[in-house]
Structure 1
């Protein structure tokens, strides 16, 4: 294990870039805490000793500068590395760090086109937990639609959750355990990402395993940012926003202030002085080409995501996702997307809501035993993964009957809510589920048996049956039981956003003067491939604080108030956990954005 007081930092450079990395390192040294020692590695392939001196001269008692040639490691895959325009093979070097330096469990990687205004030790001691990487959002993806569309439709990562790989806090231990380098090589063999290259691969591989850092740790000079540049802990001169090419570059004055304190200042100033209008036109052409490339890749019929849809992923799941996307565009959130069996009307004489005779109790006992065995097998086989249950005390502390609400994205999500109920330790109060009519009357086989016997309360298209339903709900809530309702009124497979809510659940709560307990399940990709060709999702169940009816409001106002508060809680959980704004891709929104432009 490396010395805990030593901080390992990695750059990747070629012969021509050392002088800029030297300025970056100098700025880091000026602002770094004196309480630690820093080992600064420069990964390269054949930088001359003379050029190395530009950074080696910066070494002192606190900062060691070590040049490390990665030629042999790179040689094995160099022929298949896509290289374009201003990129060079050095952009892939960060992939090798964890394997090349097994003595480190955590390292910092930083691009050379940066200025470090913050204390780099503060970044290093950020706790990563089980996250594979710590990074900042890539603002180019968020702020430029063609790049954002590329991220989502080619790489398969939301534009709001795409990170910039020029500043990384790498969990090297997890990189080794999760075999990130092997996964990278496998992806290289499958597909050549050519827009942001290794950044694309890293985002694809590390999706949902990222600790999002304060954006100030990677302030991209090419993009807009909502704070003074003096607050940036790291300024990153991405793409063509280079101070040594453009005198008016954002944050350029800060770069030159540090550069003037180094012995590479004159050399870099010469670069600026000799950068011609023709060179600037070439830069503009490079950026135009990059944008066009992003659009071309997005529109390709054989891009990465479309290849997966055509060869790996189950066709029925692909069609479901396509249908969900279409329904979202149309703003039709209450339409189910699964092909359920034809429904039969549930008649009043077929059910007694909540009233269970001996025979029914025996069936329920058998059904619950079978369901638990089934759930346990799903968990053991990692077909269902419950990562965490948060806020269980909010469930445990309920002292009356309550409506439990949850987002609906999987036929098994009620099993997850059953586990949350079990964790709340309320054994003397029964947990019921409201289900669709067809799931009770027409669902075949084992699942149909569970639907009819695991404490379910089916809705009905028959008015007489619905009267019995309402009476049963009232009786159970007054008894102190819990009733799970899906207020979105539709199930969209693996859909992460909260959908608009219907009033039914909140009418039950107001009618019986009981609270609503808002639960929202978030998902993240595991590293286990499911039989359907999609990664198995890890669930985190978030149990919010109960919402009580406001007696100062009218009946209708109370219903609307509880519904709106529930939605707000879900929205806050979504935005906090997924680190992105809740935005629906509706055609109305798109029209509004187009008109605003």
Structure 2
């Protein structure tokens, strides 16, 4: 490690800033450095490190001459580090080995808890101390989304279909506030080296690796701190703190480069200004054509990776998915092909029969109220934990106003696809401005009698109404549902009956929920939850689903029609409402793989 003026200004309030470049790129690094120095808060101390492999002494001397009272400058040779992994690294077009240097920063500089890495093709017009002062906590880095990926469909498809990262969350690694402590503590350099043995990314190279290694562990900073000069800027020009001339279009290669005036303002202040101008004048049309070809190659590589049968995402999905979940999905496909829509996809363990003497559906004793209050408190803690761990992700609630239209109670229907979907409905129900209203849940008999411990507490004391295979108990159940609706409260029913894990289509509905609504002259409020893959993998190797909860228009019984007719018509309207949400959200016509015409009526009640 070559140190020419290390820590010459001490460590008080020192802000470490890292660049990585080779001999040919130093002149542009100097311009970026100059922009930082001209706009920095001079009450702070800074230390600029330039990571390199063999930059000449003469070139180093020009850069070191830029140091002043607030800015220390050092060159650090990383040749030895690179030798150990150089043969494993893919290098493409205008990329070079220097793009990987940033990965060494935390381990090579243990004195720093955090550090700034900045690409050399940048101009910093804001106060770099403001960028550095972002609080990271235990997050791995502060970053900005990559605007090139966000604005280029093919590249957006690439990061989603090859890396499994949503295009809006894929970050540009050209500006990173690195949490060096967390990089070291979590051995992220080792993780990177291990990933090299798993898959070689050839499109954005180390940036792809960083997006995977740091997935869900980054702070998205204000976009002004990485305003990529590509397409539409991420913020108004006057608000930009850092311009990033990434991709092939550089102001020192193209006279008509957009926003080039910011570059030339600081280039004039450097010792290599004449050399930069000469480089612009000598840049040939053939070189510009090569730049264009480079951009086309990038797109071609992205398409090739998307189409690879063994691309990274497919490889990980194939390796990591639970065999039991894959078997469950296959069984669900079989049930759909055979039109067995109301059957449970998973085999339920045997459970005791719920007898009349074992259940008080609407208890009023102080003990029962205390148990319910405790159960809801425990349930709230559990739901908050699921949300924090991203095991339950609710993206959006739509149509809350439809819930507020039925303030005098209703039968709420919802598609059933996950053991936690009732939590999503409860959270959605609480979004409505309904004072002193409760939502009771109709649950399976086995859920009430068969669950011990924690889940048993939730099933027995959180306003649940269990079904039963005993006739006398069912009489009590029906009376309890009627009583709840008479009191202008809400009852949640899953009219599809069985749960089909992560099944996105609406299934044909049983009539029980609609019979209750018709006999009590209450509306039905159809709720349909749509799903999309998050970028969080669960323990089974599948992506946790992000839910959007849709409250549809309430469906009212017609007072001039008989109960049976109302029940059937409300059921059909509910199905059509769900179908409309499905087709609008997913952009496809609802069809089933079974040969029969779409069935929406079945004989079995509830």
TM tier relative to shorter chain = 0.5 to 0.7
Name 1:354's counterpart in structure 2.
Answer: 361
Tell me how far apart the structure 2 counterparts of residues 38 and 282 of structure 1 sit (CA, whole Å).
38
Match of residue 104, structure 2, among 96, 102, 126: 96
Tell me how far apart the structure 2 counterparts of residues 102 and 487 of structure 1 sit (CA, whole Å).
60
Shift of 1:41: 0.6
TM-score where L is the length of structure 2: 0.66
Shift of 1:231: 2.7
Name 2:507's counterpart in structure 1.
Answer: none
Name 1:220's counterpart in structure 2.
Answer: 228
- Between 224-233 and 268-277, the greater mean CA deviation after superposition: 224-233
Deviation string for 1:512-543 (max 9, x for gaps)?
A: 9xxxxxxxx999988xx865246999x9x9xx
| Residue 156 in structure 1 maps to residue 164 in structure 2 | yes
Tell me how far apart the structure 2 counterparts of residues 41 and 155 of structure 1 sit (CA, whole Å).
31
Contact 1:118 1:234 in 2 (8 A): yes
The 1:308/1:320 distance shift into structure 2, 3 A limit, reads: farther
Tell me how far apart the structure 2 counterparts of residues 161 and 386 of structure 1 sit (CA, whole Å).
19
Shift of 1:181: 1.0
Tell me how far apart the structure 1 counterparts of residues 346 and 161 of structure 2 sit (CA, whole Å).
29
TM-score where L is the length of structure 1: 0.67
Tell me how far apart the structure 2 counterparts of residues 279 and 285 of structure 1 sit (CA, whole Å).
10
Q: How many residue pairs are counted as aligned between the two chains?
A: 490
Name 2:239's counterpart in structure 1.
Answer: 231
Name 1:339's counterpart in structure 2.
Answer: 345
Contact 1:459 1:469 in 2 (8 A): no
Name 1:171's counterpart in structure 2.
Answer: 179
Give the number of the structure whose alpha-carbon radius of gyration is greater.
Answer: 2
The 1:342/1:126 distance shift into structure 2, 3 A limit, reads: closer
Shift of 1:118: 0.5
Contact 2:32 2:123 in 1 (8 A): yes
Tell me how far apart the structure 1 counterparts of residues 269 and 191 of structure 2 sit (CA, whole Å).
42
Contact 2:53 2:78 in 1 (8 A): yes
Contact 1:220 1:237 in 2 (8 A): yes
Shift of 1:405: 12
Name 2:139's counterpart in structure 1.
Answer: 131
1:9-28 mapped onto 2 (5 Å cutoff): 9-28=17-36
The 1:453/1:87 distance shift into structure 2, 3 A limit, reads: same
Deviation string for 1:216-260 (max 9, x for gaps)?
A: 110111231254434321110111121111111111122112111
Tell me how far apart the structure 2 counterparts of residues 171 and 486 of structure 1 sit (CA, whole Å).
47
| Residue 453 in structure 1 maps to residue 460 in structure 2 | yes
The 1:306/1:37 distance shift into structure 2, 3 A limit, reads: same
Deviation string for 1:386-413 (max 9, x for gaps)?
A: 99xxxxxxxxxxxx99999999985257
SS at match of 2:41: coil
Gaps of 5+ in 2: 1-6, 333-340, 394-406, 430-435, 505-512, 523-530, 558-583, 590-606
- RMSD over aligned CA atoms reads 5.5
Tell me how far apart the structure 2 counterparts of residues 486 and 84 of structure 1 sit (CA, whole Å).
54
Name 1:515's counterpart in structure 2.
Answer: none
The 1:82/1:318 distance shift into structure 2, 3 A limit, reads: farther
SS at match of 1:16: helix
Tell me how far apart the structure 2 counterparts of residues 206 and 406 of structure 1 sit (CA, whole Å).
36
- Between 210-219 and 439-448, the greater mean CA deviation after superposition: 439-448
Name 1:145's counterpart in structure 2.
Answer: 153
Shift of 1:141: 1.4
Match of residue 246, structure 1, among 246, 251, 254: 254
Match of residue 282, structure 1, among 287, 290, 294: 290
Contact 1:353 1:468 in 2 (8 A): no
Deviation string for 1:10-63 (max 9, x for gaps)?
A: 111111111101000001111111110110011111211122223212111111
Tell me how far apart the structure 1 counterparts of residues 229 and 32 of structure 2 sit (CA, whole Å).
15
Tell me how far apart the structure 2 counterparts of residues 407 and 21 of structure 1 sit (CA, whole Å).
57
Name 1:76's counterpart in structure 2.
Answer: 84
